[in-house]
Structure 1
Amino acid sequence: MSLPAAIYFAVFWIYPFLSAGYYSFTDYDFVKSPEWTGLDNYRFLFSDPDFTHSLRVTLLFALGTIIPTIVLALALAVPLARPGRTSTVLRTMVFIPAIVPLVAASFLWQGIYAPNGLANKMLGWIGIDGHSWLNDPDWAMRALIVMVIWKNLGLYMLLLIAGLQTLPQNVYEAAALDGSRPLRTFFQVTLPMMRKPLAFVVVIASVAAMQSFVPAFLLTRGGGPGVATLTLPMYVYRNAFGYTDVGLASAASVILFVILLLLSVAQFRVFARGER
């Protein structure tokens, strides 16, 4: 009964992964047969300023989206985890962006960031001049980060609410009997018991941020202006389908996989050590 799932996993996950690993050691352009070049692609990557720049941009994008999103999600999850009609309505409102297709959300925010879009109109209401958000190298990345925070906040909030609702209530009753204030209860009771849910959310948020492609592709026309939003997935796409250098793109994707693997293992170890 597991055979269909195993076939799907082998065809659409294992085979592409192994193929990318093989092509990363070759010179391949979709037309001619792959030609073995050894480590040449990897040597070129670490001497390519666009690649090192894409690594910095990806790290900046990941930090700019992961930390604020999880902090806001936890701040919303704690009060909205309580049962009640108001909490249910507010949870639904915050979660709505998470079910909006990413392409549709990107086009929505493209309109918001337009010269006559909602963002500039709201600034005009308080007497501030509008801005060319997506055409300014200093603001394009910040605009992407705001859009991604809006998109992911509801999902991470819901995951944290699920974790909060599994916590034993007798611990909170004991803290209340000891006269613990809400802020102290949060930092000394709630936060330590939320290590596993937080570890899960941090890991999936990190993977999603490091693999983010659609917002940069649609909002900034493929990493623009210039290379201001050239993330590592955009670098892979540009080399594979823009320059038809599949070998170089495969090498970059292998490096991305290694970074994600090491990052995930390190995060789980940090949270496990803290729990012990």
Structure 2
Amino acid sequence: MPALLILAIFRFLPMLEAFYLSFTDYDLISPPRWVGLQNFIDLTQDPLFLKSVQVSLIYVSCSVIPVIPLSLGLAILFNRALLARNFLRSAIFMPVVMPAVVMAVVWTFMYQQDGVMNTILGWVGIDPVPWLRSSSTALWSVIMIGIWRAVPYYMVIFLAGLQAIPRDYYDAAKIDGAGSWATFRYITLPLLKPTMLLVVVMNVIVAMKVFAVPMIMTGGGPGDATRVLPLFIYQTAFEFFDMGKASAMSVVMFAILMAFAFIQVRLFTRKEEQ
């Protein structure tokens, strides 16, 4: 009961309040004024909102797709007997336990003109790159950090899924003469489907909610290159003082995530039925 009470007060009630405020005109000072669907109509005509949705979708697609094979590959690697395996697991997992604010500050220094990244490029004769100062590279710089932090986390989830697969299946495949690729294709991948679904859905939700890194590193710039939807929601609510419109954006983002999760569950379920 205490845990449910905490969830109700700090999670479910704010969600219901945000849903109500999405139908109002509220500037955080005056009482909310009911406007119906006007906030949602305005969003369809707001170029900044549409741009932020586009940036978020690019971030999600370009950060989620590489994470799946990278984290699965590392999980397969660390599922084997390796020298100092536990130490290497802990070292690779460090980005996950690092606070997002600290990580953003460290990477900001690494992306400086004379930072680590440009120093490494200079060793191979490549000119310095304006990582965070150019609209053509800023978003990719943020995406790289998202991948770097997400891969170790989902590696652990995949590793748990791999270790839950009974060894009898692999022993039987070995007796039948199946090679490594056939074993991976016909045993590992099918039995990892529930884990794969969990990783994909969680990864998309986390990527869609990214906020601290673009907020600290770029503030949404240069221009609108890194203004992801959660950052624009924050700016609309607490910088432009339009809580009603910001709540409508939150409802739209929630609907997008729920629709994606439903589609993913249906696709995985249909594949299993076939």
TM-score, normalised by the number of residues in structure 1: 0.96
**Cα distance in 2, alignment partners of residues 10 and 98 from structure 1:** 28
1:89 matched to 2:76? The reply is no
CA apart distance, 1:11: 0.8
2:255 aligned partner: 258
Alignment-mate amino acid for residue 263 of structure 2: A
Counterpart for residue 20 of structure 2: 22
Q: Give the counterpart of 2:271 among 267, 271, 274.
A: 274
Q: Where in structure 2 are the equivalents of 1:201-240 lying within 5 Å?
A: 201-220=199-218, 222-240=219-237
| Corresponding residue SS for 2:84 | helix
Partner of 2:61: 63
Q: Deviations over 1:60-116 (max 9, x none)?
A: 100111111111000111121124543222212211111111111111110110111
1:110 is matched with 108
Q: How far apart in 1 are the matches of 2:205 and 2:130?
A: 30
Unmatched runs of 5 consecutive residues or more in structure 2: none
SS of 1:135 mapped into structure 2: coil
**In structure 1, what is the Cα distance between the partners aligned to 2:33 and 2:160?**
51
The more displaced of 172-181 and 197-206 is 172-181
Q: CA RMSD in A?
A: 1.0
Match of 2:180 among 179, 182, 185: 182
Match of 1:193 among 169, 191, 194: 191
Q: Structure 2 CA distance, aligned partners of 1:91 and 1:176?
A: 28
Residue identity in the other structure for 2:258: L
Distance in structure 2 (CA, Å) of the matches to 1:145 and 1:88: 28
What is aligned with 1:50? Answer: 48
- 1:3-26: per-residue Cα shift (whole Å, max 9, x none)? 211211111011100110111010
Aligned equivalents of 2:53, 2:200: Cα separation in 1: 19
Return the letter of the residue paired with 1:130: P
* Residue of structure 1 equivalent to 2:78: 80
Matched with 2:118 is: 120
Per mean C-alpha deviation after superposition, the further-off stretch among 87-96 and 126-135 is 87-96
Mapped partners of 2:36, 2:87: distance in 1: 57
1:137 is matched with 135
> For residue 52 of structure 1, what is the amino acid of its counterpart?
L
Q: Quote the residue 1:34 is aligned against.
A: 32
**Matches of 1:97 and 1:238, distance apart in 2:** 27
In structure 1, how many angstroms separate the alpha carbons of the residues matched to 2:240 and 2:72? Answer: 43
Q: Take 1:71 and 1:65, find their aligned partners in 2: how far apart are those partners?
A: 12
**Which whole-Å deviations, capped at 9, do the CAs of 1:166-200 have from their partners, x for residues lacking one?**
00111111111122111221122111110001111
CA deviation map 1:120-172 (0-9, x unaligned): 00001111110110011010010001111111111100110000000011111
AA aligned opposite 1:14 = F
Question: What CA distance in whole angstroms lies between the structure 1 residues aligned with 2:72 and 2:262?
Answer: 23
Query: What is the distance in 2 between the residues matched to 1:158 and 1:85?
Result: 18
